[in-house]
Structure 1
């Protein structure tokens, strides 16, 4: 076994010996399942006629057509759940600084770049695992509720399964972005605050503000959340867009490259700024 393989195994061991990953997975599942199930019931109920649009204070205008509804519900896994793999990556990295486990790690393997590479690979895999858990919530619960109203959840469509596969990829890349952020900002508290503030407040506001002109929309498409939605191919964020202006997203491969660029930039800069420093 090569030293790099051992380093990857060590990173998986670190993750597996803590409760952090499965607690995040459990909270994420409940959060996404609640939102996906509730909104599936609302929109599928209106589409099937079981719920009158007037009963919820809305006419049919502004509601998604049913053909677009299942992808929007399924995309909750990434468009809402992406904060969890980011947190996992950031916590797994900043925990090394907080608990000073980097010292024995670097003594065992002084190749710091190799250690960081192994951590990135391990968190990429764990991000994909979280992606599967998130999809069990959004697709599992969403499809079940949609089917309960007698509507087709579109699980037989190849486009749906392509969306599912790209969602797993997006969640995996988000975890590596978390690693990069954790390296760049070693303080665990600061990293958590940055992740929550940016993902829950700053970026949604920036994305919404960017929709009002064509120029700003083009810029907004390169925000990390928008790039992730483009990679997946659908986003519930489009319902909040004025006049449907959010429809013009990047191509899925362009969104993937933009998201990957964020991960690489954060990791490389963090490596140069903090990872190479002396640790005690």
Structure 2
């Protein structure tokens, strides 16, 4: 299994995509962290107090995880392309010939994407924490006022790995890579927010449906402050958000692996 995982990681590293994605996720983390660190600590001209309210821990947590919205879209893309490129270029047959036990080959992809997701998560945190902590320190705010921030940072790594698995499932269930990318990214970036906004006007849906959407579950895992506010339903707890996102990843990746293990690829 170790050799299969190494092979999958090597497939990513032999393309230009790996460093372009790494650069993108690093810059997104750094830029969003710097922006939110300034916005959350800028003084209100009328009072001289910070314009944004919240504890130091809430501010720091929001700053460090601000770029995850871009990060999970990039990991979704990687997950789709990790399998979609093989269907597109007809190399999936060679993969299954090199590892005749299909389930082993597919589980290798799953585990490799977990490693890749965590790796890119570390790159994202390197950008966001370095820039965010610097700006917060300059603004007189303790960069790490609470140990719960470390939990959120660890959960952000898990979230990115799970989004990569969601992408894998989408890439298998929709074998056309371009279509899979359009459906996956379009749903996560455009459709889900619009549907969530529409459902927010219905009390029942706002209370019992919207908070279980993948992006809402992700925010609940790492930064519940961003999904709470006047007129909004109580967000999931961090552990419930983690379980919800894990369920999406398990179902989509599981269905994808099951299909790929049985379908004819010749």
Structure 2 counterpart of 1:32, from 7, 29, 43:
29
Q: 2:176 aligns with which of 187, 191, 214?
A: 187
- Confirm whether residue 266 of structure 1 aligns to residue 263 of structure 2: no
Matches of 2:129 and 2:225, distance apart in 1: 14
Pairing partner for 1:158 from 136, 142, 147? 147
Normalising by the residue count of structure 2, what TM-score does the alignment of the two structures yield? 0.89
How far does residue 64 in structure 1 lie from its aligned partner after superposition?
3.6
- Specify the alignment match of 2:9 in structure 1: 12
Superposed displacement of residue 99, structure 1: 1.3
Gaps of 5+ in 1: none
Give the match for residue 136 of structure 1: 126
Q: 1:208 to 1:160 in 2, by over 3 A?
A: same
Question: Offset at 1:234?
Answer: 3.2
Runs of 4+ in 1 over 6 A off after TM superposition: none
Question: 1:109-163 deviations in whole A, cap 9, x for unaligned?
Answer: 121111111001001110011111111222221121121112222x142111111
Distance 1:156 1:64, change over 3 A: closer
CA distance, structure 2, for counterparts of residue 192 and residue 145 of structure 1? 35
1:214-238 deviation digits (Å, cap 9, x = unpaired): 4212201111111112222435454
2:214–2:244 CA contact under 8 A, matched in 1: yes
Aligned alpha-carbon RMSD (Å): 2.2
Aligned counterparts, 1:1-280, within 5 A: 4-46=1-43, 52=45, 60=51, 63-67=52-56, 68-153=58-143, 155-217=144-206, 218-234=208-224, 236-238=226-228, 243=230, 245-246=232-233, 248-280=234-266
TM-score normalised according to structure 1 size: 0.85
| Distance in 2, Cα, partners of 1:53 & 1:141 | 28
Between the two proteins, the alignment pairs up a number of residues equal to: 262
Distance in 2 separating the partners of 1:21 and 1:146: 30
Compared CA separation, residues 209 and 140, structure 1 to 2 (3 A): farther
Closer/same/farther in 2, CA of residues 129 and 211 from structure 1, 3 Å limit: same
